[in-house]
């Protein structure tokens, strides 16, 4: 484990033990990675999108600091952060859709749906709904998608987080993409398998 990764893990454990100083030292170390994740989440958004990467990171930071979670290591921290980023984006999209209820959103292709932060608020909502349905069907596949696409984790990091091999991560991702494609395009087997 590189020195920075070890330092992040150490600071996470100290923060979990109640050290405010550890949190002060931790945030500069993880901020750039959180900003990268947020920018990735927003990369396909329309230019006039009202949520910016800095605001997304700040909201995630506030929720993380306000939580009583204990993080095992850096990978676990980023996995939780990925989940938070997803929820913040979904909440934002829902608030935008409230004003546009009944707006008849177009169906998305798989590639469009799996790029987080679509050009329409309904894109992220469609993906979120599909991921929830996939989680009911197969929670590990949904978690693989969340870790890789929302969390920006590598196959190795996701495999360590889920305690499975990188080859299994790859296989689960392929099957998750196929399932999501059927679900998002209204395929006959969308909810059956």
- For residue 96, is it within any domain? yes
How do residues 151-161 score in pLDDT, each as one tens digit? 777 888 888 88
Whether the predicted pLDDT of 71 surpasses 90: no
Q: What is the pLDDT of residue 44?
A: 54
Q: pLDDT averaged over the chain? A: 76
Helices (H), ranges, the chain: 3-16, 20-42, 53-66, 74-98, 110-114, 121-137, 139-145, 155-162, 166-185
Q: What is the pLDDT of residue 168?
A: 94
- For residue 191, is it within any domain? no
Number of structural domains the chain divides into: 1
Whether the predicted pLDDT of 174 surpasses 70: yes
- For residue 21, is it within any domain? yes
What's the whole-number mean pLDDT along residues 50-65? Answer: 80
What is the extent of the structural domain holding 106? 3-185
- For residue 190, is it within any domain? no
- For residue 104, is it within any domain? yes
How do residues 86-144 score in pLDDT, each as one tens digit? 788 778 777 766 545 444 444 444 444 444 334 444 567 777 888 889 999 999 999 89
d(CA 158, CA 151): 9
d(CA 37, CA 44): 13
Q: What is the pLDDT of residue 164?
A: 93
């Amino acid at each position: 484990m590189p020195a920075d990764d070890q330092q992040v893990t150490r600071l996470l454990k100290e923060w979990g033990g109640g050290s405010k100083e550890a949190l002060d030292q931790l945030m500069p170390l993880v901020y750039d990675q959180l900003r990268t994740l947020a920018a990735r989440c927003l990369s396909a958004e329309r230019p006039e999108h009202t949520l910016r990467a800095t605001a997304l990171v700040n909201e995630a930071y506030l929720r993380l600091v306000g939580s009583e979670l204990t993080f095992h290591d850096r990978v676990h921290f980023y996995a939780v952060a990925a989940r938070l980023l997803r929820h913040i984006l979904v909440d934002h999209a829902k608030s935008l859709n409230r004003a546009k209820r009944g707006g008849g959103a177009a169906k998305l292709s798989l590639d469009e749906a799996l790029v987080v932060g679509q050009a329409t608020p309904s894109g992220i909502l469609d993906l979120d709904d599909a991921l929830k349905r996939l989680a009911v069907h197969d929670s590990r596949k949904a978690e693989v998608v969340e870790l890789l696409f929302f969390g920006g984790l590598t196959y190795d990091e996701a495999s360590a987080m889920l305690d499975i091999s990188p080859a299994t991560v790859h296989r689960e991702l392929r099957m998750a993409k196929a399932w999501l494609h059927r679900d998002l395009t209204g395929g006959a087997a969308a909810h059956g398998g």
